[in-house]
């Protein structure tokens, strides 16, 4: 089988993405490689395809148990024999896997770096025919990376100790030069083929807002993104807890994750999120490195991170399946002060001299300045990031909140008049949420008790989504038409009078997050039905939903509506193996759905 056949048979894809082929070809010709690609670019395929084509076994060094588990799950679904050896297994399980490996059963095994220095493991490896050692998340070898893991320093000695040197591949999404140099020397790559792909993730939309109240803004986004899977990052455990309490009390589908939770709870919460039983995880940056959840479709930063590398890595966890995804940063409040505090009070690192410590501090302050500049929203957000990573880009991207301002705008005068007049008519000042409820015509206890349902504008915007009304209010606040008192209650600014009384019009830019995504050709009802089926199948086999098929694959099914095996196999992400396991169930639903439609039409 050639590489194209392997890609199609095991992974269900018809073409390689940028960089993949070059890396695969180099490995197949026996050359070491270093692949630097952004999160979601498809690094795994780069070592998995050659691993399947080489004679012996590939050993993948991976930093996290959850990452190994996910990858092995995914490989098994594609019909590839693979396993991991780590502390989550019992001794018997480990021995069983080792026996099978020696019998040549596996093509790929995953191990943690710590294991490489164990004698037992070494003697096991010396009996294997290892064709490749692959180092995933290779930046962990560098002190200059943001996830230094000392055990990664064992890798070089391990490779050198093997009787026959296998080809070595290293992959990372961290692009700074220093880290790249460390990867080559500390892992001992020999004249590697270096592939650094473009860092642009075209399917990601970037937005920065400076909300008056981050909690309210967050809830608005969650309303807007309801039904989608997302991550909310905060800078402290305390904040995670606070937001989690607030949101779960208000019945949002949320779970939480941070290093202060005990291991079992962390594990459980992560599973709830991965299996789509909770839509959103509220987390610190402890969450994510091992997570390959391809249907994460938004990442909101409640706090600004300390540097662009961290931001892009975390935001980049959205949209891995290639569908349009949103990356939102809520900037303001104490964000800068918090990051400065982290820099001035670093974790003790005794291996550094005073001078080095000072250097690190300066480096971090510079990085923070760049992050603040990004957050100011003065520049095209995408291009700012790409330039930061050394790409020569100019002009505007038209897919971020800075660019959209100039790209499209709508007349919102009528909405402004209704909102301003509502604020004027209530006797006492009310919060944005209450004003939105009045305009939407919601008869809550509060509104009825206070008689606000008799205000003349009650229900005047009942055809708009409540979250939309709140977004309008935010915009008018941002632009000086409305003010808030310390309790968040609204009052009108002088500027609003011209709109109410002198016919002044207001146009405002449309944020991409508000635009209905263009899914005209996707049959939404069918898409939902397919999702329900996927959930059932996933439950039965105790797998995360997206391992069965990703959202992107389901969306294609709901667009193309295949009716035969042949047509079904043409959908991106469908392999023969997966067809055998799941295809008939999905075909059944698609056929039934089409028949229902015809019947209704008649």
User: Can you give the binding site for ligand ADP, defined by CB under 6 A?
Assistant: 13, 16-17, 20, 37, 39-45, 292, 294, 320-321, 550
Question: How many Å separate Cα 342 from the centre of its chain?
Answer: 24
Closest distance to ligand ADP from the beta carbon of 580 (Å): 19
Closest distance to ligand ADP from the beta carbon of 558 (Å): 18
Closest distance to ligand ADP from the beta carbon of 175 (Å): 13
**Contact between 86 and 109 (Cβ < 8 Å):** no
N residues, the chain: 602
Query: What number of other Cβ atoms are within 10 A of residue 342's Cβ?
Result: 15
Closest distance to ligand ADP from the beta carbon of 60 (Å): 12
**Contact between 302 and 243 (Cβ < 8 Å):** yes
Cβ partners under 8 Å of residue 359, min gap 6: none
**Contact between 422 and 439 (Cβ < 8 Å):** yes
When the beta carbons of 44 and 142 are compared against ligand ADP, the nearer one is 44
When the beta carbons of 42 and 63 are compared against ligand ADP, the nearer one is 42
Closest distance to ligand ADP from the beta carbon of 11 (Å): 6
Positive or negative torsion for Cα 464, 466, 470, 471: negative
Taking CA atoms, 578 is separated from 182, 187, 568, 571, in Å, by 40, 36, 11, 12
**Contact between 176 and 211 (Cβ < 8 Å):** no
Nearest residue (beta carbon) to ligand ADP: 42
SS3 readout for 286-343: CCCCCCCCCCEEEEEECCCCCCHHHHHHHHCCCCCCCCCEEEEEECCCCHHHHHHHHH
**Contact between 68 and 84 (Cβ < 8 Å):** yes
Bridge partners, residue 507, by sequence: 411
When the beta carbons of 46 and 208 are compared against ligand ADP, the nearer one is 46
Closest distance to ligand ADP from the beta carbon of 158 (Å): 22
Closest distance to ligand ADP from the beta carbon of 294 (Å): 4
When the beta carbons of 171 and 225 are compared against ligand ADP, the nearer one is 171
When the beta carbons of 42 and 211 are compared against ligand ADP, the nearer one is 42
When the beta carbons of 62 and 235 are compared against ligand ADP, the nearer one is 62
Tell me which residue has tokens 């402004």. Answer: 416
Closest distance to ligand ADP from the beta carbon of 169 (Å): 13
When the beta carbons of 17 and 581 are compared against ligand ADP, the nearer one is 17
Helix (H) / strand (E) containing 171: strand 167-172
When the beta carbons of 199 and 205 are compared against ligand ADP, the nearer one is 199
Cβ partners under 8 Å of residue 338, min gap 6: 235, 236, 303
Alpha-carbon torsion angle 42, 284, 367, 152, nearest 10 = -60
Q: Cβ-count burial of 100 within 10 angstroms (0-12 exposed, 13-18 middle, 19+ buried)? A: middle
Closest distance to ligand ADP from the beta carbon of 424 (Å): 52
Q: Which of 401, 335, 334 is nearest to 368 (CA)?
A: 335
When the beta carbons of 37 and 460 are compared against ligand ADP, the nearer one is 37
Closest distance to ligand ADP from the beta carbon of 296 (Å): 11
When the beta carbons of 252 and 298 are compared against ligand ADP, the nearer one is 298
């Amino acid at each position: 089988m050639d590489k194209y056949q392997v890609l199609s048979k095991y992974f269900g894809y018809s073409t390689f993405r940028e960089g993949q082929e070059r890396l695969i070809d180099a490995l197949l010709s026996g050359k070491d490689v270093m692949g630097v690609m952004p999160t979601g670019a498809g690094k795994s395929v780069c070592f998995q395809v050659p691993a399947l084509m080489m004679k012996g076994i590939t050993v993948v060094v991976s930093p996290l148990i959850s990452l190994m588990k996910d990858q092995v799950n995914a490989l098994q679904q594609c019909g590839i024999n693979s396993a991991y050896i780590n502390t989550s297994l019992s001794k018997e399980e480990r021995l069983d896997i080792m026996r099978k490996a020696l019998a040549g059963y596996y093509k790929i095994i995953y191990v943690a770096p710590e294991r490489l220095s164990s004698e037992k493991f070494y003697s096991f490896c010396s009996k294997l025919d290892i064709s490749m050692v692959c180092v995933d998340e290779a930046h962990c070898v560098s002190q200059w990376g943001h996830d230094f893991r000392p055990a990664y320093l064992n890798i070089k000695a391990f490779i050198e100790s093997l009787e026959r040197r296998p080809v070595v591949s290293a992959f990372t999404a961290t692009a700074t030069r220093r880290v790249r140099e460390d990867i080559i020397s500390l892992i001992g790559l020999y004249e590697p083929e270096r592939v650094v792909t473009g860092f642009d993730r075209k399917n990601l939309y970037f937005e920065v807002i400076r909300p008056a109240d981050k909690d309210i803004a967050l809830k608005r986004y969650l309303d807007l993104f309801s039904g989608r899977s997302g991550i909310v990052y905060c800078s402290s455990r305390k904040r995670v807890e606070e937001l989690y309490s607030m949101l779960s009390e208000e019945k949002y589908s949320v779970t939480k994750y941070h290093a202060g939770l005990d291991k079992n709870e962390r594990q459980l919460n992560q599973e709830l999120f991965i299996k789509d039983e909770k839509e959103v995880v509220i987390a610190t940056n402890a969450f994510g490195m091992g997570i390959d959840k391809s249907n994460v479709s938004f990442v909101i930063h409640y706090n600004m991170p300390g540097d662009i590398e961290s931001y892009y890595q975390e935001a980049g966890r959205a949209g891995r399946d290639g569908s349009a995804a949103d990356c939102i940063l809520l900037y303001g409040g104490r964000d800068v002060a918090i990051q400065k505090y982290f820099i001035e009070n670093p974790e003790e690192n005794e291996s550094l001299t005073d001078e080095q410590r000072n250097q690190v501090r300066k480096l971090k302050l510079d990085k923070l300045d760049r992050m603040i500049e990004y957050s100011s929203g003065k520049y095209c957000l995408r291009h700012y990031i790409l330039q930061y990573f050394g790409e020569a880009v100019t002009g505007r991207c038209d897919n971020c909140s800075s660019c959209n301002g100039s790209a499209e705008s709508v007349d919102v005068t009528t909405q402004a008049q209704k909102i301003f007049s509502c604020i004027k008519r209530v006797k006492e000042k009310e919060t944005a949420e209450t004003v939105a409820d009045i305009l939407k015509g919601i008869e809550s206890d509060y509104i009825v008790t206070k008689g606000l349902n008799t205000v003349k504008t009650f229900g005047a915007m009942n055809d708009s989504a409540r979250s939309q009304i709140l977004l309008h209010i935010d915009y008018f606040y941002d632009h000086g038409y409305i003010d808030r008192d310390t309790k968040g209650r609204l009052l009108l600014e002088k500027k609003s009078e011209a709109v109410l009384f002198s016919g002044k019009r207001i146009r405002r830019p449309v944020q991409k997050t508000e635009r209905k995504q263009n899914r005209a050709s996707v049959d939404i009802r069918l898409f939902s039905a397919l999702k329900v089926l996927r959930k059932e199948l996933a439950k039965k086999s105790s797998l995360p939903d997206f391992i069965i098929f990703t959202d992107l694959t389901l969306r294609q099914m709901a667009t193309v509506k295949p009716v035969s095996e042949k047509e079904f196999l043409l959908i991106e992400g469908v392999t023969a193996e997966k067809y055998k396991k799941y295809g008939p169930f999905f075909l059944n639903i698609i056929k039934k759905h089409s028949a229902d439609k015809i019947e209704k039409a008649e």
